Amino acid sequence: MPDFSRRLLPLLGHSGGSRDAMTCLYRCANACDHPAPNESANPYLGDVVNAEMSRRGVVRAGAVGAMVLGFGGSALAAAGPAAAAPAAHPGSGHGHGHHHPQPKAGKIGFKPVAPNTLDAFTIPEGYRSSVVIRWGDPVEPGAPKFDVDKQTAAAQSKQFGYNNDFVGVLPIPGRSDRALLVVNHEYTNEDLMFRGFTSQDALTVEQVEIAMAAHGLSVVEIEKVGRTGQWKPVKGRRLPFNRRITALDTEFKLTGPVAGSALVKTKADPSGRIVIGTLNNCAGGVTPWGTVLSGEENFNQYFIGGDGVSADAKAKLNRYGFVTATRYFSGSRKWDRAQDRFDLTLNPNEANRFGWIVEVDPFDPEGRPRKHTAMGRFKHEGANVIVAKSGHVVAYMGDDERFDYLYKFVSDKKYIDSKSPWARKHNLTLLESGTLYVAKVTGDSPAAEIDGTGKLPADGKFDGKGEWIKLVSGNRSFVPGMTAEEVLTFTRLAGDAVGATKMDRPEDVQPSLRTGKIYAAMTNNSNRGVGTNAKADEANPRNANKHGHIFEITETRGDHTGTTFTWELPIVCGDPASADTYFGGYDKAAVSPISCPDNVAFDSAGNLWISTDGNALGSNDGLFATPIEGKEKGHLRQFLTVPKGAETCGPFITGDDKSVFVAVQHPGEITGASVDKPASTWPDGDFAKPAVVVTWKADGGAIGS
Ligand code: FEO
Ligand code: CA
Ligand code: CA
């Protein structure tokens, strides 16, 4: 019997990019070692270059929905969670209200930090940083003090979870010095969590449950420290908002067309409406009505038993990267040992209950978070919303897998811009019904000029046009042969059927509230142009794309509800000294090297902030900032680096621009590391702990200025 323990197989066949083998194993069960799940014959962009695009729907004149107040903006009159309609910025959390100073657009003034491989959190001169909260710190009242040797599932269920990713900071109405920090806990690494770990099989069921409890989200009330940009958790017994949401036992409500359908009914939930837990929550966004959206990403790795399902079910599982050839596999977490719903042979529909966008209302600590089926099911990186001029809410989303797609969702109902409780109640339903689109893009340069090296075509730009193809609207499917429920549950197959464009791993996708343009991080794609895989095209112009690029979308006439757009690549990442990089035409001698863009955010000046995952240039990961409009466009500088083995997640810039939060995810995640032999001792000098860090300017100025 072969040994399928996670411990023994991390190096077998590992062919991923720049990430350590241990990260590949734990985060996505070695997804890069498997063929990319998209085997559709969708034309790559070169086949359809300069194709005439059909116009669908009514294109209205649009504008940016910059109706939100900034952090520190006028306090809301309403008090208490029921009336809360926090002044949140959709997405990165900064506001564009007129209640705080607006730095001059595009002004960035810090001295960049140098690439490095230190086991340290490094920031520019003149800045300060501090750990806000780390793995094991108390969240819910009564949480026991963290002890790595005496950990229990009950303790972990009240403590800050593992591997923080998305970070959102939502002001508490009426309190300019208080906010709710909402954080995703994407995945666990048992090698680094349990002293003496040998294999997944050797874990006790209690330890499996600790891992389940270390997944999910945390809601933590934080307070400002003096007048600086520093924040710290509020201590005390009365912390009504503090909450852990876990994979172990938190109930979620399914909303939308798939709720109650046969596709999501199970023995334990014959209603098909209540799901236990959330999995692999990666990035996310903050809505204008003060909730958090969180993407369920590599949910496939949590299930075993794919070999025992029907042939039809196998085809669908395969498209989502589930293993169906064997019961166990390299990277299997074997959670079926604690809860048999993770055995697909016994519970084939349980898989369909994950892979959704989750909405958490942090101001409703007793409420069930919801999974919105109207927004489709794929490996959701996250979702960021903007309010279109029409009032409809538009969410932009990426499916993070090599050769997968970009999506957008347009709500049926309109946002009500009011702080009243009834308006908030209405806004909380906006993501429950709407229309889901997938992106198809074409380039404007001759295919022959896109040679896969990253060399710019003769017109000097990687750019072109795009179309949002309607997949489903309410209960009506626009994909032949698929019902609306099927389109929403097997959205990747729907994208295949309509010829969506295969992209280089779409990660975070976020609209700028200053310009209304949308920025998507294509993190990398080692398989582009390799073997029979799709070749480079103008939107993904490098074969074996190691360093990734930024994809900018401009909706036609600024209408976010429309169906056509233009696009360009403002940044093609890598070493600026290398000919295959592009930084908006800026002098590359002044630019910091950047590799594998993952999360994006904006400050209130509209500068684009980019965090990285898996620097293929040899440096630790970091956070970068660049103006994205005007003369300084492309002048990208590195703002910080994270410790050894870690990835930079978040980032989140508060609406007053005084603080930037990042999540330091998987510090010390290097093959061979353990609690006793840590590859990183950050942040406390003993063994590595994922943590959220806030950075501010010592003189009280705006971040990056
Ligand atoms: Fe969890 Fe797509 O990064
Ligand atoms: Ca071009
Ligand atoms: Ca990510």
pLDDT in tens, 620-664: 999 999 999 999 999 999 999 999 999 999 999 999 999 999 999
Q: With a 6 A CB cut-off, is 186 part of the ligand 1 pocket?
A: yes
Chain centre distance of CA 597: 12
Distance CA 207, CA 193 (A): 10
Q: With a 6 A CB cut-off, is 401 part of the ligand 1 pocket?
A: no
pTM above 0.75, yes or no: yes
Tell me what pLDDT residue 43 has.
58
- Ligand 1 centroid to Cα of residue 613, in Å, is 8
Q: Which long-range contacts (CB under 8 A, 24 or more apart) does 136-140 make?
A: 136/160, 136/689, 137/233, 139/218, 139/219, 139/220, 139/242, 139/243, 139/244, 140/239, 140/242, 140/243, 140/244
Which residue minimizes the CA distance to atom 1 of ligand 1?
Answer: 282
Tell me what pLDDT residue 17 has.
59
Tell me what pLDDT residue 106 has.
56
Tell me what pLDDT residue 514 has.
94
- Ligand 2 centroid to Cα of residue 446, in Å, is 8
Tell me what pLDDT residue 67 has.
28
Tell me the three state secondary structure of residue 245. Answer: strand
Q: With a 6 A CB cut-off, is 381 part of the ligand 1 pocket?
A: yes
CA of 398, closest atom in ligand 1: 2
CA of 165, closest atom in ligand 1: 1
Distance CA 96, CA 140 (A): 32
Distance CA 453, CA 581 (A): 10
Q: With a 6 A CB cut-off, is 538 part of the ligand 1 pocket?
A: no
Tell me the three state secondary structure of residue 633. Answer: coil
Tell me what pLDDT residue 421 has.
96
Tell me what pLDDT residue 351 has.
98
Tell me what pLDDT residue 107 has.
72
Q: With a 6 A CB cut-off, is 520 part of the ligand 1 pocket?
A: no
Q: With a 6 A CB cut-off, is 297 part of the ligand 1 pocket?
A: yes
Distance CA 660, CA 229 (A): 8
- Ligand 3 centroid to Cα of residue 80, in Å, is 33
Ligand nearest to the CA of 566: 2
- Ligand 2 centroid to Cα of residue 559, in Å, is 23
Q: With a 6 A CB cut-off, is 400 part of the ligand 1 pocket?
A: yes
- Residues for the chain: how many in total? 705
Bridge partners, residue 519, by sequence = 510, 552
Residue pointed to by tokens 């590391």: 673
- Ligand 1 centroid to Cα of residue 343, in Å, is 24
Q: With a 6 A CB cut-off, is 399 part of the ligand 1 pocket?
A: no
Ligand nearest to the CA of 297: 1
Q: With a 6 A CB cut-off, is 20 part of the ligand 1 pocket?
A: no
CA of 508, closest atom in ligand 1: 2
Q: Divide the 705 residues of the chain into consecutive groups of 10 and give the mean pLDDT of each group.
A: 33 52 92 88 49 24 29 28 36 33 63 97 98 98 97 98 98 95 98 96 97 98 96 94 98 98 98 98 98 98 97 98 94 94 98 98 98 99 98 98 98 96 98 98 98 98 98 98 98 98 98 97 97 97 98 98 98 97 97 98 96 94 97 97 98 97 98 98 98 97 92
CA of 295, closest atom in ligand 1: 1
Query: Based on C-alpha coordinates, what's the Rg of the chain?
Result: 23
- Ligand 3 centroid to Cα of residue 24, in Å, is 13
Query: In one letter, which amino acid is 15?
Result: S
- Ligand 2 centroid to Cα of residue 664, in Å, is 37
CA of 280, closest atom in ligand 1: 1
Ligand nearest to the CA of 401: 1
CA of 523, closest atom in ligand 1: 2
Tell me what pLDDT residue 331 has.
83
Tell me the three state secondary structure of residue 702. Answer: coil
Q: Could you write out the DSSP letters of every residue in 335-370?
A: GGGT-GGGBTTT-GGGGGGSSSEEEE-TT-TTSPPE
Q: Which residues, in sequence order, are CB contacts of 407 under 8 Å at separation 6+?
A: 376, 378, 396, 397, 398, 399, 436, 437, 438, 439, 491, 495
Chain centre distance of CA 196: 32
Q: Which residues, in sequence order, are CB contacts of 298 under 8 Å at separation 6+?
A: 27, 28, 29, 31, 187, 280, 282, 321, 379
Distance CA 507, CA 381 (A): 5
Count of beta carbons in the 10 Å neighbourhood of residue 109: 12
Tell me what pLDDT residue 32 has.
82
Q: With a 6 A CB cut-off, is 596 part of the ligand 1 pocket?
A: no
- Ligand 2 centroid to Cα of residue 461, in Å, is 4
- Ligand 2 centroid to Cα of residue 463, in Å, is 4
- Ligand 1 centroid to Cα of residue 200, in Å, is 23
Q: Could you write out the DSSP letters of every residue in 486-533?
A: HHHHSHHHHHHHTTPPPEE-EEEEEE-TTT--EEEEE--BTTTTSTTS
